[in-house]
């Protein structure tokens, strides 16, 4: 019978070194793949204690319920569906199964909530004469307020582009930084942008790493800092960061970090979460599984896995949307204008 080994190794995630557990061997059968996945998550997933507290997650109970659905005759597609259903119990958008035929994913972190963003309405604000640099779209609105839209941190943003964008806004009364529908990407890129909004080194949060197979086996929280981009332009006036539930992963941590700066106001809906740095492992049948391995905390050592709350909660209203108005952008503009009354 074909067998596959899942080897625990040493790996580095950003700030720390994480050592995993002993070597495991499983058969390439429906039951073997199920057990392999359950044990990988059991030993390496980082939010068991938090989610047991939040909604009563019991991973041992999950094993009993889903193992009962596995038989020696379970088809490949049937196994995929069972494994996806089991992983959905974690309620984590960073947890996926990758096969040649499909990708298992959990999307309720944003699909169960209002969009609070309309691409069609957004185009009306950008118009046809917006500028674009390193993927960032930007323009000056009619009331002399700067507007920049970052739709992803999954591409490289040059320092010269950020200099050019902020230079374009020098005479503006304030800045709206829109990251709605930004699903994340590189934490380093997000921190690079955040560094343009502080004049001093700021402790913005913490990170922990798994130190063993137990659900509570973690290193002590290590502080995370944002340092100012000293040799480049930095924004000195009010900045309103616009958010919705589709702000995830690196964008989730970006919003948490930005909230630590005195000239920043976060407006819109809570972010979608994704507060764990992901890692991947392989099942005996060759399927890849991704999971949250290292939790990120805010500056008060609170979890950000289920999202970051805005300073000012604003939803897009149906009446505004019918008229082609973005309620959240208009609220940000009004906030900045009120500072000059």
Residues 192, 65, single domain; the answer is no
Residues 190, 59, single domain; the answer is no
User: Is position 114 within any domain?
Assistant: no
Query: Does the pLDDT at position 19 exceed 70?
Result: no
User: Tens of pLDDT along 69-101?
Assistant: 999 999 999 999 999 999 999 999 999 999 999
Percent of the chain with pLDDT over 90: 91
Look up the pTM and report it. 0.91
Query: Does the pLDDT at position 14 exceed 70?
Result: no
User: Is position 242 within any domain?
Assistant: yes
User: Tens of pLDDT along 183-193?
Assistant: 999 999 999 99
Domain extent at residue 279: 1-109+206-221+275-301
Query: Does the pLDDT at position 132 exceed 80?
Result: yes
Average pLDDT over the chain reads 93
At 340, the pLDDT band (50, 70, 90 cuts) reads confident
Residues 67, 93, single domain; the answer is yes
Cα 166 to Cα 234: distance, rounded to the nearest angstrom: 7
Residues 150, 284, single domain; the answer is no
User: Is position 229 within any domain?
Assistant: no
Nearest to 166 by CA among 197, 125, 192, 210: 197
Domain CATH number, residue 143 = 3.90.226.10
Block residue for tokens 């379970």: 74
Query: Does the pLDDT at position 42 exceed 70?
Result: yes
Whole-number pLDDT of residue 288: 98
User: Is position 227 within any domain?
Assistant: no
User: Is position 13 within any domain?
Assistant: yes
User: Is position 226 within any domain?
Assistant: no
User: Is position 326 within any domain?
Assistant: yes
User: Is position 306 within any domain?
Assistant: no
Higher pLDDT, 20 or 296: 296
Query: Does the pLDDT at position 1 exceed 70?
Result: no
Cα 189 to Cα 213: distance, rounded to the nearest angstrom: 31
- Residue 99: burial class (beta carbons within 10 Å; 0-12, 13-18, 19+): middle
Give the count of beta carbons closer than 10 Å to the beta carbon of residue 214. Answer: 13
At 24, the pLDDT band (50, 70, 90 cuts) reads low
Residues 139, 12, single domain; the answer is no
Average pLDDT over residues 219-239: 97
Cα 287 to Cα 279: distance, rounded to the nearest angstrom: 14
At 12, the pLDDT band (50, 70, 90 cuts) reads very low
Residues 77, 179, single domain; the answer is no
Task: Give, in order, the Cα–Cα distances in Å from 89 to each of 82, 93, 278.
Answer: 11, 11, 17
Residues 215, 158, single domain; the answer is no
Residues 322, 294, single domain; the answer is no
Q: How many structural domains comprise the chain?
A: 2
């Amino acid at each position: 019978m074909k067998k596959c080994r899942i080897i625990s190794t040493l790996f580095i995630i950003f700030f720390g070194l994480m050592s995993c557990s002993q070597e495991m061997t499983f058969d390439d059968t429906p039951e073997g793949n199920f057990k392999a996945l359950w044990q990988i998550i059991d030993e390496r997933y980082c939010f068991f204690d938090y989610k047991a507290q939040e909604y009563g997650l019991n991973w041992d109970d999950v094993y009993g319920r889903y193992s009962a659905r596995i038989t020696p005759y379970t088809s490949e597609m049937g196994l995929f569906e069972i494994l996806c259903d089991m992983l959905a119990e974690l309620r984590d958008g960073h947890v996926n199964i990758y096969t040649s035929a499909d990708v298992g994913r959990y999307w309720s972190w944003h699909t169960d909530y209002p969009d609070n963003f309309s691409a069609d309405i957004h185009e009306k604000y950008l118009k046809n004469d917006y500028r674009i640099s390193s993927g960032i779209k930007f323009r000056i609105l009619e009331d002399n307020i700067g507007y920049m839209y970052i739709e992803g941190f999954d591409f490289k943003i040059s320092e010269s582009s950020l200099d050019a964008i902020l230079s374009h806004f020098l005479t503006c009364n304030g800045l709206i930084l829109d990251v709605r529908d930004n699903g994340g990407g590189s934490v380093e890129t997000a921190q690079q942008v955040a560094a343009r909004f502080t004049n001093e080194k700021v402790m913005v949060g913490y990170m922990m790493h798994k130190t063993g197979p137990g659900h509570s086996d973690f290193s002590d929280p290590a502080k995370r800092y944002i340092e100012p981009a000293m040799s480049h332009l930095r924004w000195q006036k009010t900045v309103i960061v616009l958010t919705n539930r589709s702000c995830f992963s690196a964008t989730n941590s970006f919003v948490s970090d930005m909230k630590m700066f005195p000239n920043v106001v976060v407006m819109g809906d809570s972010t979608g979460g994704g507060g764990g740095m992901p890692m991947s492992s392989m099942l005996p049948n060759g399927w890849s599984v991704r999971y949250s391995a290292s939790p990120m905390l805010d500056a008060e050592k609170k979890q950000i896995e289920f999202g970051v709350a805005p300073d000012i909660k604003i939803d897009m209203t149906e009446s505004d949307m019918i008229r082609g108005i973005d309620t959240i952008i208009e609220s940000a503009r009004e906030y900045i204008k009120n500072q000059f009354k």
